[in-house]
Amino acid sequence: MKFLSRIGGLIIAPKDTMRAIVHERRELTEALAVVLFFSFTQWMAFALALRHLITYLAEWRSILPLAYAWPPRLTSSIVIALGVTVDFLLWILLSVGSYIAARAFEGSGDFEITLLVLGYAYVSKTFAIVPLMFSPLMPLASLVASLVGCLVGLVWFIYVSSLGMSEAHGLSLEKAVFAIVLPPLVVIGVLAILSLVMLPIRIFMRWSI
């Protein structure tokens, strides 16, 4: 029951709940359970919503030959498996990046507490999951609402995880926010630079053929 109350508390009272999680040094398996549960739930709900949307558009079946060529259960299984795998890897990679950033800001926490904080922050997926519950009635509207929920959830993830990083590493809230958002921005920036560098090479290769 305490585990469930912590999950609810991260939505209702995130500051107090995250402080308790950090100072009680909850088991890392709890964070893993949060990541896997909310990831699996989101991607399962998304896969079911897609199936409901395809059924809803069945009268235009000729427009969707590829969708009907795939067995629905196989497609859903692939979506769920890939989604959960990506979410798990993002949890690990973001924890590594945020821990390095926190240490650069002279944070005092360890890597395990970073994993714990970011794992519990996956509760923010709730905002994307709830609209998908209405997919049997409103498949298209629920998917659109879920996309909006993803944006809200992203903001909430940054907020909740920043509270946790601030508490766990002894950082100001501003530095904690930077520790969360800086690693993804660095990766995006590096990829953008690589794309710009590779563009002239691709153009040259095309002209040389």
Question: What is the tens place of the pLDDT at every residue in 151-207?
Answer: 999 999 999 999 999 999 999 999 999 999 999 999 898 888 888 887 777 776 677
Residue 132's alpha-carbon distances to 13, 33, 46, in angstroms, are: 24, 21, 7
Contact 129, 153 (CB under 8 A): no
> Would you place residue 116 in the very low, low, confident or very high pLDDT band (cuts 50, 70, 90)?
very high
Please report, for the chain, the start and end positions of each structural domain, with discontinuous segments joined by +.
Answer: 2-208
**Other C-beta atoms lying within 10 Å of the C-beta of residue 45:** 21
pLDDT in tens, 35-83: 999 999 999 999 888 888 877 776 555 555 555 545 566 677 888 999 9
When pLDDT is averaged across residues 18-31 and rounded to a whole number, the result is 89
